[in-house]
Amino acid sequence: MKTSVPWPRLEAAYEARVSTRAQRSVSAHEAQDLKFAAGRLAEGKAIGELLAARFSGPVRVLDLGSGNGGVASGVANFERMTVVALDHRFNPDLQRLCSETGLRVLQVLGNGEALPFRDEAFTAVLCLETIEHVSRPALLGAGIFRVLRTGGLCMLTTPPRLKYLFRRDPHFGIPGLLALPDGLQRLVVTRIFRRVSRREYDVQHIYCYAGSIARLFPGRKIFQGVGQPPSNVVARLFWSIRQRFSWERLLIWKVDA
Q: Residue 33: inside a domain, yes or no?
A: yes
Per-residue pLDDT of 29-40, as tens digits, reads 555 566 667 789
Tell me, yes or no, whether 15 lies in a domain: yes
* Rounded CA separation 188/2 (Å): 48
237 within some domain: no
Domain count for the chain, please give it: 1
Confidence band of 24 (pLDDT split at 50, 70, 90): low
Tell me, yes or no, whether 188 lies in a domain.
no
Domain of 118: which CATH number?
3.40.50.150
Confidence band for 241, pLDDT divided at 50, 70 and 90:
confident
| pTM summary value | 0.92
- Which residue range is the domain that position 153 belongs to? 7-159+207-228+247-254
Residue 123: the pLDDT is 98
> Residue 100 domain-assigned?
yes
Tens of pLDDT, residue by residue over 94-137, are 999 999 999 999 999 999 999 999 999 999 999 999 999 999 99
Q: Quick count: other Cβ atoms within 10 Å of Cβ 103?
A: 22
For 241, other C-beta atoms within 10 Å of its C-beta total: 10
Mean pLDDT across the stretch 44-63? 96
Cα–Cα distance for residue pair 41/54, rounded to 1 Å: 20
Give the model's pLDDT for residue 249.
93
Rg of the chain over CA atoms, in angstroms? 19
